[in-house]
Structure 1
């Protein structure tokens, strides 16, 4: 789901050039790197206590208490003022309560999120305790200011969470005393329009942007900053390979030599990433790279302050999770198949008598391959089923209902068109067939078998998971989805999806744009030492990629911050073919 890019700015004006020098300082005095961060919450986090006394259930978290309700084995509660909610099930003869914390809609992403919580019974009392770890709601801004060849002060804005610098298009900066103006690039012979106006006081530059006013402080020349991949510019030469740390997350770890990869080639690759120029808002911003071969994790590197314990947005790479969850549900016995009729399932098992003929034959496979024929196209802002049109309207909270009501403009299977509400509708069909909330299904059928203990599923206004993308994972966990497909549907010998599903999901079934597409997995080919090898990958806005190359038994994951910028495609087009594939030196 693409949250709306809302940038709070002063009215846009055509600004006349200001004198470079004033009695109170010049724009040139602002040269350097400035950074700011706003934290919006949430404050409700930490230990959660559920207890039953005298037949009454009660919950307590972060100093707040409220009544809880038990219906069958399901226990729920909501905090006052919409501060959070919980839904869970009593398990293992009441030894545990397994469920999800529902945090309120975030400022930075415009979504509520569900994250897993397991509460353990304390002794013999009817009291259970667990820890709530909601997604941090915060926004970081970097403002780089430097002289241009024309004598003005060039500036650009970097925002790792959503890349709003790409939308604001800050190109330069002017100053008049304490007033600092951010300007767009000149156009049509006129000076650049004013984008935002800030105030400089006591070396703090306060600028109104998305979510509030950001207090930018200058980064000292000798200080480290996460604006740079490793804190400071030009430090790539100091990098030396280190093997990933062994954790209890299911990943065996090793060294490149143990799996037929070149240590020197991987070091060159990481040094290249560290020393990539950061001279514009479109500079490559890689947040993490992981490589596994023969099921062994051998490279794990993070940049720009990201780390293995920090969740990352997967954007549309999360669509591949939708296919995996559906495959897992089918394997577990949920009465669905690729040939299941979408409108029949959503209508409770029958087709409405007045349903148009093309909707009567729409199947799950059509949704899985983006070839439904519905009037939805994410590349067309005028399409009624465009992701933004569905997710940013406020009249109808049920996005599945809106999608089902779209007109058919071509026969199902006739042509694949990229549209995010199609995989989201898969979630609706699965919810209807299974009779359980999607976060619960994901926890039981995918997360638990893969050892994924932490995740943050973005929710729709009706409170169920949005399956069109945007789920957050820890990097090592998300790469497991690629390894699962390489393994033919198993993880450490435990089957999650059938071998047939894993193969078909990652096969080139349809032409989508200029690429091949399977069941919500992209498929492409690389030339490799005189032959062609096939790769499949989950791909998301900003440079989120989990790729599998079965012929080499190789899994690769990238995470990035180049949202809505074509430079994000460097992962598939440059980093993999020019650095990762040449690192393979043996079997």
Structure 2
């Protein structure tokens, strides 16, 4: 169990409690309980206008009000700091009808759609665990020895649609074990006894729910529980999200291979597949969800959101915030870091182009080598200052001469963007990319400064992932509106380099992967956004098709499974 938890815990800051060794054995092991209210973490956000520049903010679940505060606005903007973990901020548009609202809680930046429901009255919903109700509402606690005389605990949910907590800051107060979730900002209070554990979960010091846990000797869930999904095809539902829908027949796609795919997913031959969506000729023609996932559940993108980072940089170039990708990195760094870059002849040549193509030359290699890379994602994310760790890493090559996949490269792009926008990066992303695509139910992962992390980790609904792919297939246009320049799309899709630390030496664009599928001797080119665990946005220009697949293969090595699904099932359905 400890090994499994260490895999999902990217950020793990240990602050252990100390007990006598005899005390530890009484509590170590598994514990299990059930929430009385599965919607305990589904919160309603209300904003009421008091006077022209004064508002009241209330956050509540079905049981109680958990936070309230009055606030003022400045140029239609506001910010309310709740505690060290949580802040709420946003803007009201010029029509005074829609709030752009963000909640920073822990590591995550939740975008909360707020709609006007009456005169001066606004309302929205915040799902802390990404889903409205946990199903099943079962909670486990793994209490473990963290070392001699030390105790740690990890909450685990039967509902695995949320990708887990990152527990840290363990403290002991009498018989209470206190800790926090670095990811969501929630705090936990476990009252320990040999017969039971009473677990209280809090937001900003206010109890959201509490439950009683009893000793449990079984195994903990590591993937979503299987839920029955029909193999019968249904035309996707038309929703108010911008997608036109059509049938497989009208799109000229054979249903039989897709039925075979669904049967293989249900039989767990294609394990941990969460969704498969297909858009053909600009219309959504196929949409299936598995393992409890559905149309409204945002899915962890992992590194697939690197391609979204590329789009945001492209928009910044289009807007003139960057003159070109040939600009050097040191132009956009705080002075003390710019000096480090400029003092090194090779580092001073790092430009935006080399960061977009993973060819900065820094010792920033995430995988595929036997040694420990200084600025690998696993290293800098566990350091107290991510930027310093990356900037101080040695150069191993001249920029733009060798390419190694490393998340530090897009991370630096996000740092550069912060220096040229006159607003928070999340505002810029929402205004110029996400809102024009009618994407509103999303979550950003923050970096160590709580600014959006460009190295990956966004949560998006699969239909919205498909929109992003369609935007690129359309050369930057969605619903007859240009969002990104055609020139940036072409540069992004260009085969700039080859990733030297991947098994198949993949060709690479501006944070986009190139791949060639083969069906009955025919080669089909794809440009793909890819994320750990099997998150794919696959653009197939020759077929005028976009495919989205989401998965949960984070720990079993089957991150490549979407390629199998595309080649053996989806392309057969389209081209055979």
Q: TM-score under structure 2 normalisation?
A: 0.74
CA distance in 2, matches of 1:134, 1:348: 39
1:52 to partner: Cα distance = 4.1
Matched, 1:555 2:546: yes
CA distance in 1, matches of 2:567, 2:283: 21
CA distance in 1, matches of 2:38, 2:288: 28
Give yes or no for contact 1:485–1:503 (8 Å, CA) kept in 2.
Answer: no
Matched, 1:388 2:357: no
Residues 94 and 325 of structure 1: is their aligned pair in 2 closer, same or farther, counting only changes over 3 Å?
same
Give yes or no for contact 1:101–1:117 (8 Å, CA) kept in 2.
Answer: no
1:57 to partner: Cα distance = 4.8
CA distance in 2, matches of 1:361, 1:468: 21
Alignment: residue pair count: 482
With 342-351 and 558-567 compared, the bigger mean Cα shift is at 342-351
Aligned residue in 2 for 1:495: 482
Residues 299 and 44 of structure 1: is their aligned pair in 2 closer, same or farther, counting only changes over 3 Å?
closer
1:389 to partner: Cα distance = 1.5
Give yes or no for contact 1:37–1:214 (8 Å, CA) kept in 2.
Answer: no
1:67 to partner: Cα distance = 3.9
2:304 to 310, 317, 329: 317
Deviation digits for residues 209-265 of structure 1 (CA, Å, limit 9, x no counterpart): xxx97876999xxxxx9622527xxxxxx6211111011111111111111210222
Aligned residue in 2 for 1:329: 316
Deviation digits for residues 379-417 of structure 1 (CA, Å, limit 9, x no counterpart): 267222111211123x33xx3344333332211111111
1:288 to partner: Cα distance = 0.7
With 54-63 and 400-409 compared, the bigger mean Cα shift is at 54-63
Give yes or no for contact 1:438–1:464 (8 Å, CA) kept in 2.
Answer: yes
1:481 to partner: Cα distance = 1.4
Residues 54 and 118 of structure 1: is their aligned pair in 2 closer, same or farther, counting only changes over 3 Å?
closer
SS at match of 1:287: strand
Q: Residues 25-64 of structure 1: matches in 2 within 5 Å?
A: 43=41, 45-53=43-51, 57-62=55-60, 63=65, 64=67
CA distance in 2, matches of 1:161, 1:5: 20
Structure 1 residues without counterparts, runs of 5 or longer: 10-33, 106-110, 144-156, 165-198, 207-211, 220-224, 232-237, 278-282
1:5 to partner: Cα distance = 7.6
Aligned residue in 2 for 1:25: none
Q: Residues 235-254 of structure 1: matches in 2 within 5 Å?
A: 239-254=231-246
Aligned residue in 2 for 1:406: 393
Q: Residues 268-417 of structure 1: matches in 2 within 5 Å?
A: 268-277=260-269, 284-347=271-334, 352=339, 355-379=343-367, 382-393=372-383, 395-396=384-385, 399-417=386-404
Aligned residue in 2 for 1:12: none
Give yes or no for contact 1:541–1:564 (8 Å, CA) kept in 2.
Answer: no
Aligned residue in 2 for 1:87: 89
Give yes or no for contact 1:320–1:521 (8 Å, CA) kept in 2.
Answer: yes
Deviation digits for residues 446-477 of structure 1 (CA, Å, limit 9, x no counterpart): 11111112111111232211111110011101
CA distance in 1, matches of 2:40, 2:569: 40
Give yes or no for contact 2:111–2:442 (8 Å, CA) kept in 1.
Answer: yes
Q: Residues 418-497 of structure 1: matches in 2 within 5 Å?
A: 418-497=405-484
Residues 304 and 5 of structure 1: is their aligned pair in 2 closer, same or farther, counting only changes over 3 Å?
farther
CA distance in 2, matches of 1:440, 1:69: 19
Matched, 1:4 2:20: no
Aligned residue in 2 for 1:545: 536
Give yes or no for contact 1:48–1:131 (8 Å, CA) kept in 2.
Answer: yes
Deviation digits for residues 56-104 of structure 1 (CA, Å, limit 9, x no counterpart): 554222232224243443211122x4573221123215444323122x2
Aligned residue in 2 for 1:194: none
Give yes or no for contact 1:292–1:554 (8 Å, CA) kept in 2.
Answer: yes
Residues 244 and 403 of structure 1: is their aligned pair in 2 closer, same or farther, counting only changes over 3 Å?
same
Residues 386 and 242 of structure 1: is their aligned pair in 2 closer, same or farther, counting only changes over 3 Å?
same
Aligned residue in 2 for 1:19: none
SS at match of 1:535: strand
1:351 to partner: Cα distance = 6.4
CA distance in 2, matches of 1:469, 1:42: 28
CA distance in 2, matches of 1:520, 1:214: 47
CA distance in 1, matches of 2:390, 2:228: 44
Residues 121 and 286 of structure 1: is their aligned pair in 2 closer, same or farther, counting only changes over 3 Å?
closer
Query: Which structure would you say has the larger Rg?
Result: 1
CA RMSD, aligned part only?
4.0
1:438 to partner: Cα distance = 1.6
CA distance in 2, matches of 1:360, 1:460: 24
Aligned residue in 1 for 2:557: 566
Q: Residues 148-187 of structure 1: matches in 2 within 5 Å?
A: 160=160
Give yes or no for contact 1:317–1:538 (8 Å, CA) kept in 2.
Answer: yes
Deviation digits for residues 487-519 of structure 1 (CA, Å, limit 9, x no counterpart): 111112111111121122123221113211111
CA distance in 1, matches of 2:292, 2:421: 40
CA distance in 2, matches of 1:35, 1:578: 41
Give yes or no for contact 1:318–1:468 (8 Å, CA) kept in 2.
Answer: yes
CA distance in 2, matches of 1:274, 1:71: 53
CA distance in 2, matches of 1:2, 1:488: 36
Residues 302 and 364 of structure 1: is their aligned pair in 2 closer, same or farther, counting only changes over 3 Å?
same
Structure 2 residues without counterparts, runs of 5 or longer: 1-6, 17-30, 141-156, 165-192, 200-211
Give yes or no for contact 1:115–1:134 (8 Å, CA) kept in 2.
Answer: no
Give yes or no for contact 1:94–1:121 (8 Å, CA) kept in 2.
Answer: no
CA distance in 2, matches of 1:92, 1:410: 50
Aligned residue in 2 for 1:581: 571
Residues 120 and 142 of structure 1: is their aligned pair in 2 closer, same or farther, counting only changes over 3 Å?
closer
Q: Residues 138-217 of structure 1: matches in 2 within 5 Å?
A: 160=160
